Structure 1
Amino acid sequence: MTEAVATKTAPAQHGLTAHSDGDWENRVPVQTRSERPTSTDVADFARVTGREAVWKYTPVADLDALLNGELDGSRLPVAVSEAAGVSSSWIPRDDARIGRAGIPEERGAAAAWSAFGEAHLISVASAEKVTAVVTRDALDAMPRAAHTIIEAAPQSEGLVILENTGPAQLSENVEIVVGDGAKLTVVSVQQWDDAAIHLASHYATVGRDATLTHIVVSLGGGIVRLNPSIHLDHEGATGTALGAYFADAGQHLEHQVYLDHDAPHTTSRVTYKGALQGEGAHTVWIGDVLIRNNATGTDSYEQNRNLVLSEGTRADSIPNLEIETGDIEGAGHASATGRFDDEHIFYLQSRGISEEEARRLVVRGFLIEVISQIGDEATEERLQAAVEAELAATSGAQATRGA
């Protein structure tokens, strides 16, 4: 005869009941950037609602084709300028060189990763500084996926400029691998047509005593969302992330920057500067810096500055700093959004400069501080002219309203 054994069940806590949306007890909100789940398979990410922390500032309703649709993953039409020590090739998606710098943290990047057929590989192997310009100006409005790898060999030095113009509906991943002792600058320029949509995730791994300077200039496009993640995962690595952006009426420009210090004696500097004008102009900057427990001797600082030129604009600026060790050289962050500095305007007017021209000079200097660090004179001059054109449009609109 088997004896029945009574079991005692603890009373349920009042109000603690599972919801109908799944595994409630095991669902814990992601608190920090380093805890985000990662995958190269879009099926591992739920459909985007716009309520997620990573998407809540983004106009997701306009991104359905890139987030949920079928993407064309064939080769993009690109042109690469010739430079000694720089090579360009296409490699299959199962190549071992793919996935070294990072993998997606959200659905948009995973959708692009799942869809691309071949990756565009740009290799820099010159001990003397070389410049390569990668031009993409022949796309169309078809939803596309792309994957690019920029690789700098140990002890090499190079500047790679990604030029984006024309129409586009593009979602892409860009991997940047900087070898030991190398010095690499990667510049991504967005001057798309007004209706273009561009989602991009950049991942970088920086070798021992190597330096990466990553520069973003976003001027054109209806929606641009470019998120660089720089992993300083070797001792002595340095990462500098710079950005300049100018949002017009109805334009959404978003940048989410991540610096991950995962080795001793690493250094990072982040400076993003933006200007906004026109009804509905919206910019988003989110800066995450993680200093891990093993990253002793870290020196880090991030800042974002926004200059508002007219009513009806919105600038979201969110700096985050996570420190897991107290043995660091220093860490800090700053964020500011405001209008013109009256003292600067007064100073210029006192020297015979009109108020309109004084305002243009202030904005020009504000953004060109970043643009002037690209290191290619032709690109710098062209982007300075583009900023001038934006400012001229501002002056013309103000004159029309005042007439």
Structure 2
Amino acid sequence: MAETVKNATVHNTKGDLFTSFDVDDFAVPHGKDEVWRYVPLRRLRGLHDGTFAEPIAPIIDVEIPESVEGATTQIVSRTDALVGRSGKAVDRVGAQAFTSAENALVLSFAAGSVNKTPVAIKVQGAGLDNTTFAHLVIDVEAGAEAVVDLRYTGTGTHADNVEFVIGDNAKLTVIVDASWNDDAVHMSGQTAILGRDATLRHSAAVFGGEVVRIVPRVKFTQPGGDAEMLGVYFADDGQFFEQRLLVDHAVPNCRSNVLYKGALQADPTSGKPEAHTAWIGDVLIRSNALGTDTYEANRNLVLTEGARADAVPNLEIETGEIAGAGHAATVGRFDDEQEFYLRSRGIPPEEARRLIVRGFFSEVIGRIPVAEIREELESRVAAELESLQAKKANA
């Protein structure tokens, strides 16, 4: 057996992490490891150290509307040439998911096909006491345009790898929606490679689950690529959500924009662990990535006591010949001036707070191109705020 490596071993840059699909290549994570330091490892139900319950087959359904053209699905072996093109796992859980998955599901969009209607991939939890693993590949061939709604529901313990392979002049819009029950555990490694003049619009929404960790990694392989990474999350008592991103500008004249917004609320008397979110955003601009234009931002709104948000933006720049690069992160409470303005116009305090929070999220939700999904996410924000109000009323 090969010697195991330290978790997230960096060689030259953060884009040069050790990768493998062999779980035995990785040491068991510990809380002192930098990339795991926020994660409550004891709550992962053994996904990180091999003590998980005997896995069963995942429950995955793909719905292709009749109006969608050029979309096909197939089940292939994990060793098939269609698998692994966007990169291998960067941590033990990702390698475990690959090793334990029986096969891979490939959703392909034929070259030149243009579809505005979403194709739905629905992953259903197999039950609280069950563990599932999966590998998904979404392949958008040259010149194609596609929209994918990847949704997780139910409960259980689930880990997966999701690949996005976007060909030359192709465009993929994907909404990753973690609509889990509040007792689910989900670990997801998501990798994307973009061809020449390719476009990725990746939106992540996390409102459900006990522990949810999503690790998107984007790499440009040819000039002209454009990636937008959006995210919204809302954590309550007992929930831990982590988003850990890397955008790897490895070639010239590519653009990326990252914007994540999160809110947290808690009831210190509930007896549950504190509401906790962590956002780590890494952008790497390699020495030959001339003309890069990138910006990343993370905004967090802490609504109550007993909640904690960690935000860590990082820029690694190896050349000064770029169009622009910047980052920002904030963790704060309500804007008192906004609340005062609304209340001065006769709006009750609780309604003013709801309006501020909904406006806070609207900048991200409004960019999602599917109206039904936008409306659903806005409804979830409203439901979270109503839950907070109900807790206060019963206190």
TM-score, length-scaled by structure 2: 0.91
Q: Verify the 8 A CA contact 1:152 1:177 in the aligned structure 2.
A: yes
Contact 1:74–1:118 at 8 Å: present in 2 too?
no
CA distance in 2 between partners of 1:75 and 1:118 (Å): 10
Of 105, 111, 114, the residue aligned with 1:127 is 114
The secondary structure found in structure 2 opposite 1:224 is: strand
**Match 1:343 to one of 323, 337, 347:** 337
State how far apart, in whole Å, the 2-side matches of 1:168 and 1:29 are: 33
Distance of 1:30 and 1:309 partners within structure 2? 40
The one-letter amino acid paired with 2:381 is V
Residue-by-residue CA offset, 1:149-169 (whole Å, 9 max, x unaligned): 011111111110111111120
The residue aligned with 1:111 is 96
Aligned partners of 1:178 and 1:184 also within 8 Å: yes
The residue type paired with residue 236 of structure 1 is G
> 1:144, CA displacement in angstroms?
1.3
Provide Cα deviations, 1:123-180, integer angstroms capped at 9, x if missing partner. Answer: 1232243321112235223111110001111111111011111112001000000111
| 1:76-122 CA distance string (max 9 Å, x none) | 33242323322222111111011111111111111111111111111
User: How well do the aligned residues superpose, as a CA RMSD in angstroms?
Assistant: 1.9
Instruction: Give the match for residue 57 of structure 2.
Output: 74
CA deviation profile, 1:280-301 (whole Å, cap 9, x unmatched): 0000000000000110000010
Aligned pair partner of 2:350 in 344, 348, 356: 356
Match for residue 367 of structure 1?
Answer: 361
Aligned counterparts, 1:169-208, within 5 A:
169-208=157-196
Is 1:136 the equivalent of 2:138?
no
Greater Rg by CA: 1
| Partner residue, 1:228 | 216
Within the alignment, does 1:33 sit opposite 2:3 as a pair?
A: no
Return the offset for 1:370. 1.4
How far did 1:31 drift? 7.6
Deviates more, 1:131-140 or 1:175-184: 131-140
Structure 1 residue 69 displacement after superposition: 3.2
C-alpha distance in structure 1 between counterparts of 2:331 and 2:146, whole Å: 34
Q: Which moved more, 1:265-274 or 1:86-95?
A: 86-95
Q: How many pairs does the alignment contain? A: 377
- Which residue of 1 is the match for residue 36 of structure 2? 55
1:98 to 52, 61, 83: 83
User: Which residue number corresponds to residue 203 of structure 2?
Assistant: 215
Query: Gaps (5+ residues) in structure 1?
Result: 1-21
Contact 2:285 2:292 in 1 (8 A): yes
Contact 2:58-2:125 at 8 Å conserved across structures = no
Quote the residue 1:7 is aligned against.
none
Deviates more, 1:118-127 or 1:63-72: 63-72
Q: State the partner residue of 1:377.
A: 371
C-alpha separation in 2, matches of 1:160 and 1:194: 24
Within the alignment, does 1:306 sit opposite 2:300 as a pair?
Answer: yes
Q: 1:300 to 1:76 in 2, by over 3 A?
A: same
| Alpha carbons of structure 1 residues 138 and 112: separation in structure 2 relative to 1, 3 Å | closer
1:324 aligns with 2:318: yes
Secondary structure of the residue aligned to 2:309 is strand
Q: How does 1:16-31 map to 2 (within 5 A)?
A: none
Q: What is the aligned partner in structure 2 of residue 13 from structure 1?
A: none
1:120–1:170 distance in 2 versus 1, CA, 3 Å:
same
Structure-2 residue corresponding to 1:17: none
SS of aligned partner of 1:396: helix
Which residue in 1 is equivalent to 2:271? none
Kindly indicate whether the alpha-carbon contact (under 8 Å) linking 2:56 and 2:131 is maintained by their aligned counterparts in 1: no
Read off the aligned partner of 1:139 and give its amino acid letter: A
Contact 1:161 1:187 in 2 (8 A): yes
**For structure 2, which runs of at least 5 residues remain unmatched after alignment?**
269-273
Partner of 2:149: 161
**Percentage identity across paired residues of the two chains:** 44
Shift of 1:29: 7.0
Residue identity matched to 1:341: D
Correspondence for 1:85: 70
Q: TM-score, normalised by structure 1?
A: 0.90
- 3-state DSSP of counterpart to 2:46: helix
Following the alignment from structure 1 to structure 2, what is the Cα–Cα distance between the partners of residues 263 and 31?
Answer: 17
Local SS of the residue matching 1:77: strand
CA contact (8 A) 2:146 2:173 kept: yes
